[in-house]
Structure 1
Amino acid sequence: MTITAMAAALLAAVPACAAQAPAQAALDRFADTLGYRLTMVDNGPDCPAGIDGCFLATITLTVPDTIPADLGRFSLYFSFVNRLPRVESDIFDHKLINGDLQQLILKPGVTLKPGARHEIKLWGVGSNFSKAFGMPNAYLVADGLQARTIAATRPVIDPDTGLEILPFVAPMTDEAKLAVKSDADKTRWLTAERAFDLQAARPAAAATGVVILPAPAKATQTKGRPVDLTAGVALTVEGADRTALAPAIAALANAGVADTGKLPLTIRIGAASLAPEGYTLDVAAKGVTIAAKDLAGANNALRSLAQQAAFEKGRVTPLHVEDAPLYPYRGLHLDLGRNFHGRDQILKLVEAMAAYKLNKLHLHLAEDEGWRIEIPALPELAEIGSKRCHDPSEQTCILPQLGAGPDGTSGVNGYLTTADYVAIVKAAAARQIEVIPSIDMPGHSRAAIKAMELRHARLTAAGKKAEADAYRLIDPADTTQYRSIQNYDDNTLNVCLPATYRFVDTVVDALADMHRQAGVPLKTFHLGADETAGAWVNSPACKAMIAENGGKSGELTPRFIERVTASLAAKGLRAGGWSDGMGHTQTANMPKDVQTNIWGVLHTGAIREAHDQMNRGWLTVLSIPDLGYFDMPYAPHPDEGGYDWASRGVDVHQVFGFMPDNLPANAATIRNTRAEGQPIEDKPLLEPGHRVAGVQAQLWSETIRTDAQVDYMLFPRLLALAERGWSAAPWTPAYQAGASYQWNDSRVDAAKLAAGWSDFAGRVAAQFPLLDAMGVAYRVAPPGARIANGKLEANSEFPGTAIEYRPTGGTWTRYAGPVAVTGPVDLRTRSADGKRASRTVRVEAAK
């Protein structure tokens, strides 16, 4: 019997938990019929006294016309990610449980009346710009009964888009009240009319010629008859076993070029004159030849050939390519901790990464909300830490944060088994992709702490105190009160305990063993080290260490990082971490081989952190939101999903136009909507001889509960990041220490950027059929549109996208050009295979 099953059996044996059938049935009926509506009212209201910078939202409950007779006193639980310093209700008292989980407790003596409506005012801190901030699966709890999800709050899948929607969240239509937080914020919603103007200003040409993405360093098509690859090729590989290229060979076959013909395709590996991952590719009448320095280069050449062959339907114009990456690090970070995404989804993404020459998969395996990797020596981590359900004692699961619901069956639960992880590492290695496991610490560790507390209790009850204490991650005598940025008061490992370092070693050793099982040594371990709340001021275990640091408890996190990175170095591993934590360490106390991911926002901390940590000689990867936080919305609009704390919109054009080698220059192309006209300060100056190691996309998963949402948020933005990691951005001015830039600065070559975008957008459109074939549900961007002089005009972000329109009360019709209309019109676009639609937008004639 598993630990979870044993704990559940013990709970079931408690008489108080045996619910009477009539009472349970009454709660069930009430949960099924209770009306529930979340409405965002105002992002800039007059705030109650003592609350600065508030916003107002409401929950409206509609009592059903028939109230079950056996319904007793109950509580309502819901998730809300912003802090709620004030909640007003005539029937409920409010209590924060932890993190984002909130409780509304029915007041004593309250009697619900059939058909009554009750409005609960939520005064939040910050802002709420998107419907995606609504969290599903609110639920009801009564003593002795099983918790029940309120049916009205369940998410549903839109059959047209394939995406999850939340029907209980009211439409957000009042731009004046909801689009901005203050007069200083110049953000405007990207309506269909504004999108039309924006896309008209960014013309994109349909793909012709070479469509390889990312763009090769040099690619030339020559005169001559197309080379017919439809009959297949005779493949030979020199310098390696052809099985090492099996996935790339399979991708070529999927593009219509099978290894069954007579035309020779020769791959020579070991060319000393080529750069790592580089290759040459020649397609000529006599056959196809590839030269590469290494397996990665050969893989990249085959992927390029597959793209071009698919575009030209197997009859490839004679072609010569010379190619190598601009940066050695081109990564994708996937957060499995907040909401789980499993083995099959990850394997699909690994194949897509290889197709577009990304080479680092950063798997975020643990968070406050979930532990997602099996560690055989510590089974509680996966069995308890991976599941969220309503168990206030947290004996069978952890609390249901982020709208996970009460029953533990949601798809956001789960973990990778050892076999799953080994399979992922093997699949990635077969595609020359390094897997970088990440366990965030010492903050962001609530799931681990709760799992290890359960282990401690189990072993203590068995009389095994020493064994129980061996992995306890908190000091029970620590009375420090704190709240992390995600609102937890118990999510930080105690860095003064030997057990904490034993825990780290055990987890790292287990991951290293999985890599050995996969035949791929672990190279890098990412310890996070960001956003640490510091729960140690009153910890007896920490008092001596705090005294040694001059009474500064804040010095304990840097010392923790230094100690762990030294331990990793002793194991032959590179340590990685996020820039805020890593930047507080002493360089002299750190190993020389360190990876740091810069996640500061461009207009605030990105340049300071990037230049500081490049100057230290560290391997510096740009993970900044303006370039690569793909959990941010594509555009500022309430119907676009994602968090927006760093940016109201990160569209494909912005990612494509980024200039990694001159961070200050990006002020010319990325507008600071909250401080218009303010240049970015170039401090500290970047010392000569230093350069970023590369770029990485991040997908944090707080609002991303389905695999289709993962695909939507990543693609096609990930194609733009792949382009910037591989190919130079010729519009970039040379870095000059101390130079500052303004919006639309002429030193950034706007003509080259426009020409580059036009070409890139065409090549993206050419990739959509390949993504469809891989099963990647990329975003289908809604069209831009306007009604002018009685005629509907529409355009799309990418060339060749099918647009459909529907007058009020009419049927969907393919848009072929300006057409006379009367009254409002709905529009949408369709995926290349026609199976999915964008969200629907509406336009009306200007008044």
Structure 2
Amino acid sequence: MRKQIRYSGFVLASWLMASMAGGAVAGVAPEAKAVVGQGALAGVVNGAQIRLRWELVRNVFTPEAPGGGTHARLILTNLSSQPLPPKGWTLYFNVMDGVTTGPLEGNLLLEQVAGNLFRIRPAPGFAGVPAGQTLNIAYYHPDLVIKLAKAPIGPYLVYDAAPDVGQAIADYELLPVTRPEQLDKGSSGAKPVVTVQDTYRRNANADWMPAAALPPVFPTPQHLQTGGGRLRLAALPVIVAPAALKTEAAFARSLFPANLPAGGAGSPALRLSVGAVPGSTSPEAYTLTIKAGSGIDIVGNSAAGVAYGLQSLRDLLPLPGAASIDLPELTITDAPRFEYRGFQLDVGRNFHTKQTVFKLLDLMARYKLNKFHFHLTEDEGWRLEIAGLPELTSIGAVRGHSAKPDVRLQPAYGSGPDPADASGSGYYNRADYIEILRYAAARHIEVIPEIEMPGHARAAVKAMEARYHRLKAAGKPDADKYLLNDLADKSVYKSAQLYTDHVINPGLESSFTFIDHVLGQVADMHKEAGVPLHTIHVGGDELPGGAWEQSPASRAVMRKKKLETTAELWDYFYDRVDAILRKRGLYASGWEELAARGTKLDGVHKLIPNPHFTQRGFSAYVWNNTEGAEDFAYRLANAGYDIVLAPVTKMYMDMAYNANPDEPGVNWGDYVELDTVYDFIPLDYLKNANPPLVGKDRLTDYGKRRIRGLEATLFTETVRTPERIDYLVMPRLLAMAERSWAADPAWATETDAAKAATLHRTAWSGFVNTLSQRVLPRLDLEHTGVDYRIAPPGLMLDGGKVLVNHVLPGIAMRYTSDGSEPNTNSKPVSGPISDKGSIKVAAFDRNGRMGKVSRIDNP
């Protein structure tokens, strides 16, 4: 729960200005020679003539806010030959977790527009900003700003004389956060920054291992038995497969180098077939057999099993560039541990193209993941064309500045004023979505579309409200047919994303007309694609307290249905949604709140399994394993709900790797390193909790049968590019793939702590060496375009030398000692570095791409 502390703007800004280095004051200061630019309005400063910098001044702790807040400032420099006038303009920007609004020093006013969109505008008495001068704008964040993701983003300028014209301020930077007063965490309990020494100590938990000691297939297979011979392929194998496996046969051909000559009558065969896999009923089970005399056989319980056998064969092939193809004799019998091995992509907060989705589906297939949870709708964007409701995409899929209502959604997450911004605006038309469905199905990946409700629905709410106003103005009698909000609703609430107008109202019959139409259209697209649809994810998370309570429409339904509380109205809502799904032969999936009921125990809030839906076959995706709810997934499973484990502290790929301010990602749940994901024990994750958890429920034998599997989740508040997806997802997704496919490693079930630690070190060493020597180099050399995170090296001074290690043992590292940035021509790290000076070290992939640089002084 957020603790909002409001301060007097004058007192706050005066204190802040006095505390700034050099005694700077709010107002103007001399600056460099102005740059003359062409304004959108004649004779005024335009966005291109403004330089804007953001600075975290210091963190502050008070008795009223012991968790801390942050003093910050915007440094605005007028590079024009014209003054920024004393009135008639507004500076807009997004701030993810909000700021304290009100008067600011220097006669400025900071206001919330809606959600995370804020603005600063002149108040009476503001002096303006002369040409070439700088204005310091001091303000306050009510929570600690630990990550730069919480800084303002996407600033733009609007003049009153042209209220529909937003001018982006492109010259905007966040100043580094390195000073002690900026990094101070007080007694908040927030984690400190990670030093190069911290990284070295963490990396030291693994040892380098020779390639021969590593499992040859990833994820780790159930059973692998090696033989004594080898199969050498001097030409393409002859692929033998029935017509039903033509897709798998085509994939098999693509595994081998293009320059390998075509195989003839004497070439080994690669035989693909569907048949019984001994000892496994999983449809995804397979056997892979390689014999020197007879070639390669892959048998799957289904075509999916055959495809996974081919992925394992890919692992056994030498890395691209090898002089010959020499395969070991072996037999693998394999099947997944969990039937649900998922990845969720949010395209609502920031849109991502069809090509990016294809790339992710290829990555999922490579590592045997089979469920693509497609988060298609959000407060900030509706991303799927729905026949009959064009406003969902003409308004709900477009973000940008507008002075008029019912035109488009407001800017969010830095999308800025331009409605053509590729991250803020965009959607998949029917043909796009059908193509994605077929692309996924060819890779044996089930697409689970998510239509968020009743919260996180602002894009739909605003689009349908605009439709209502348009049709009502035209005199149409059914203007309110799909209206989602009660226009007389006086409920007071605020979501975690600061919205007060984003909830679908269950008191309106039109809400269910809308849901029925949308879910029906989604089902129709799957039918047209020829791809089965089993479930639709119907959201359910983060409904803010207070919603619906002052809605006349909701109160009328409560009276009619004899419902005493809005919690019962929630049950009524999902009863209706469940019926809409069931009539199409679908079951409901949703976030854990779908299966939860809030109550109190000894006056303390507590979540319990909602008894209303336990026999409905709902599938609950449990994200909340934070303080107080660590065991909630297990309690839901024990109560009879089917559960997908997606814990925020283990599986959320949008969480930053660590607490360093410039490390991308968010931190509201936790920090998630590669080993954080690897150390997750799905059916007993309380075992290695630190500190230990007491009085929490464990899984019963019945509950264990309700755990469907795992899901790695990527929400995209801070993710505007495909490169950022790669950075956050990889290589953490590999640890999730291992956990969801392979059985528990020995360390996870060992009860003796010392033995478990020894087993863990061996297993972890095997995992990271497999990544560094086989899995990631193959991605590099096959030129997949996956820009996975190359972590910074760990550094430690020892006896006048610099010790160097990396989370991926054996990865190439290079260094400089003169303070310059390393590159591919820099000295290789081959042991301790004895050079003196400012030592900078970076790791490199097989294509020469450089990771983050670590620095230490060796005097």
TM-score over 0.5 for the pair: yes
2:643 corresponding residue in structure 1: 620
Q: Are residues 469 and 330 of structure 1, via their aligned partners in 2, closer, same or farther at CA, if it must alter by over 3 Å?
A: same
8 Å CA contact 2:843–2:850 kept in 1: the answer is yes
Q: Among 245, 248, 252, which residue is 1:249 paired with? A: 252
Matches within 5 A, 1:97-496: 97-114=113-130, 115-145=132-162, 146-153=165-172, 168-174=173-179, 177-178=182-183, 180=185, 182=187, 184-185=189-190, 187-208=191-212, 209-224=214-229, 226-238=230-242, 241-245=244-248, 248-253=251-256, 260=263, 262-271=267-276, 273=278, 274-276=280-282, 277-285=284-292, 286-311=294-319, 313=322, 314-412=325-423, 413-466=425-478, 468-496=479-507
8 Å CA contact 2:792–2:843 kept in 1: the answer is yes
Task: Please state whether the residue corresponding to 1:317 is helix, strand or coil.
Answer: strand
8 Å CA contact 2:93–2:117 kept in 1: the answer is yes
Query: 1:22 & 1:40 partners in 2: Cα distance?
Result: 32
Q: Where does the alignment leave 5 or more consecutive residues of structure 1 unmatched?
A: 1-20, 154-167, 672-676, 736-740
2:855 matched to 1:839?
A: no
2:673 matched to 1:651?
A: yes
Which protein, 1 or 2, shows the higher relative CO under an 8 Å CA cutoff with sep ≥ 6? 1
What's the CA shift for 1:133?
Answer: 2.5
Task: Supply the AA of the counterpart residue of 1:306.
Answer: R
Task: Supply the AA of the counterpart residue of 2:645.
Answer: L
Task: Please state whether the residue corresponding to 1:453 is helix, strand or coil.
Answer: helix
What's the CA shift for 1:545?
Answer: 3.2
2:744 matched to 1:729?
A: yes
Task: Please state whether the residue corresponding to 2:686 is helix, strand or coil.
Answer: helix
Q: Are residues 803 and 147 of structure 1, via their aligned partners in 2, closer, same or farther at CA, if it must alter by over 3 Å?
A: same
Larger deviation: 380-389 or 312-321?
312-321
Query: 1:480 & 1:443 partners in 2: Cα distance?
Result: 14
Task: Please state whether the residue corresponding to 1:112 is helix, strand or coil.
Answer: coil
Task: Please state whether the residue corresponding to 1:604 is helix, strand or coil.
Answer: coil
Query: 2:43 & 2:595 partners in 1: Cα distance?
Result: 50
Q: Among 683, 697, 706, which residue is 1:683 paired with? A: 697
Deviation by residue 1:473-503 (Cα, 9 ceiling, x = unmatched): 0111111121111100100000111111111
8 Å CA contact 1:549–1:555 kept in 2: the answer is no
8 Å CA contact 2:91–2:157 kept in 1: the answer is yes
Matches within 5 A, 1:596-635: 596-601=620-625, 603-607=627-631, 609-635=632-658
Task: Supply the AA of the counterpart residue of 2:480.
Answer: D
Query: 1:549 & 1:53 partners in 2: Cα distance?
Result: 43
Q: Among 778, 787, 808, which residue is 2:788 paired with? A: 778
Query: 1:300 & 1:28 partners in 2: Cα distance?
Result: 63
Matches within 5 A, 1:406-805: 406-412=417-423, 413-466=425-478, 468-533=479-544, 534-547=546-559, 548=561, 551-584=564-597, 586-589=610-613, 592-601=616-625, 603-607=627-631, 609-647=632-670, 649-667=671-689, 671=690, 677-683=691-697, 686=700, 688=702, 690-691=704-705, 692-731=707-746, 746=753, 749-765=756-772, 766-772=774-780, 773-805=783-815
Larger deviation: 312-321 or 138-147?
312-321
What's the CA shift for 1:591?
Answer: 5.2
Task: Supply the AA of the counterpart residue of 1:440.
Answer: E
Matches within 5 A, 1:86-105: 86=101, 88-105=104-121
What's the CA shift for 1:842?
Answer: 1.6
8 Å CA contact 1:30–1:67 kept in 2: the answer is no
1:806 corresponding residue in structure 2: 816
8 Å CA contact 2:241–2:249 kept in 1: the answer is no
Query: 1:42 & 1:70 partners in 2: Cα distance?
Result: 28
What's the CA shift for 1:802?
Answer: 1.5
Q: Are residues 531 and 246 of structure 1, via their aligned partners in 2, closer, same or farther at CA, if it must alter by over 3 Å?
A: farther
8 Å CA contact 1:366–1:439 kept in 2: the answer is yes
Deviation by residue 1:58-97 (Cα, 9 ceiling, x = unmatched): 2232333644258562111111112323553324101101
Larger deviation: 275-284 or 334-343?
275-284
Larger deviation: 536-545 or 596-605?
596-605
What's the CA shift for 1:183?
Answer: 5.3
Query: 1:257 & 1:508 partners in 2: Cα distance?
Result: 49
Task: Supply the AA of the counterpart residue of 2:53.
Answer: R
Percent identity for Structure 1 against Structure 2: 33
8 Å CA contact 2:145–2:151 kept in 1: the answer is no
Task: Please state whether the residue corresponding to 2:331 is helix, strand or coil.
Answer: strand
Query: 1:831 & 1:26 partners in 2: Cα distance?
Result: 51
Query: 1:54 & 1:131 partners in 2: Cα distance?
Result: 16
Deviation by residue 1:174-209 (Cα, 9 ceiling, x = unmatched): 356526362544x23222221112111222425335
Task: Please state whether the residue corresponding to 2:653 is helix, strand or coil.
Answer: coil
Give the total of aligned pairs: 787
Task: Please state whether the residue corresponding to 1:664 is helix, strand or coil.
Answer: coil
Task: Please state whether the residue corresponding to 1:605 is helix, strand or coil.
Answer: coil
Deviation by residue 1:783-802 (Cα, 9 ceiling, x = unmatched): 11123333222111112211
Task: Supply the AA of the counterpart residue of 2:616.
Answer: K
Q: Are residues 605 and 258 of structure 1, via their aligned partners in 2, closer, same or farther at CA, if it must alter by over 3 Å?
A: farther
Q: Are residues 731 and 95 of structure 1, via their aligned partners in 2, closer, same or farther at CA, if it must alter by over 3 Å?
A: same
Q: Are residues 247 and 344 of structure 1, via their aligned partners in 2, closer, same or farther at CA, if it must alter by over 3 Å?
A: farther
8 Å CA contact 1:252–1:258 kept in 2: the answer is no
Query: 2:116 & 2:768 partners in 1: Cα distance?
Result: 40
8 Å CA contact 2:378–2:452 kept in 1: the answer is yes
Task: Please state whether the residue corresponding to 2:628 is helix, strand or coil.
Answer: helix
Matches within 5 A, 1:22-101: 24-25=40-41, 29-46=45-62, 53-64=67-78, 66-68=80-82, 71=85, 73-86=88-101, 88-101=104-117
Query: 1:112 & 1:591 partners in 2: Cα distance?
Result: 65
2:22 corresponding residue in structure 1: none
Query: 2:133 & 2:801 partners in 1: Cα distance?
Result: 47
Deviation by residue 1:734-777 (Cα, 9 ceiling, x = unmatched): 69xxxxx9xxx828812222111111112212111332322211
Query: 1:694 & 1:300 partners in 2: Cα distance?
Result: 18
Larger deviation: 762-771 or 628-637?
762-771
Task: Supply the AA of the counterpart residue of 1:770.
Answer: R
8 Å CA contact 1:35–1:62 kept in 2: the answer is yes
Task: Supply the AA of the counterpart residue of 2:246.
Answer: T
Q: Are residues 308 and 176 of structure 1, via their aligned partners in 2, closer, same or farther at CA, if it must alter by over 3 Å?
A: farther
Task: Supply the AA of the counterpart residue of 1:151.
Answer: A
Query: 1:632 & 1:298 partners in 2: Cα distance?
Result: 35
8 Å CA contact 1:81–1:133 kept in 2: the answer is yes
Q: Are residues 815 and 381 of structure 1, via their aligned partners in 2, closer, same or farther at CA, if it must alter by over 3 Å?
A: same
Could you tell me the TM-score, scaled by structure 2's length?
0.87
Over the aligned positions, Cα root-mean-square deviation in angstroms equals 2.5
Q: Are residues 259 and 497 of structure 1, via their aligned partners in 2, closer, same or farther at CA, if it must alter by over 3 Å?
A: farther
8 Å CA contact 1:716–1:778 kept in 2: the answer is yes
2:12 corresponding residue in structure 1: none
Query: 1:83 & 1:810 partners in 2: Cα distance?
Result: 38
Larger deviation: 555-564 or 438-447?
555-564
1:8 corresponding residue in structure 2: none
Larger deviation: 29-38 or 684-693?
684-693
Q: Are residues 698 and 258 of structure 1, via their aligned partners in 2, closer, same or farther at CA, if it must alter by over 3 Å?
A: farther
Q: Where does the alignment leave 5 or more consecutive residues of structure 2 unmatched?
A: 1-36, 598-608
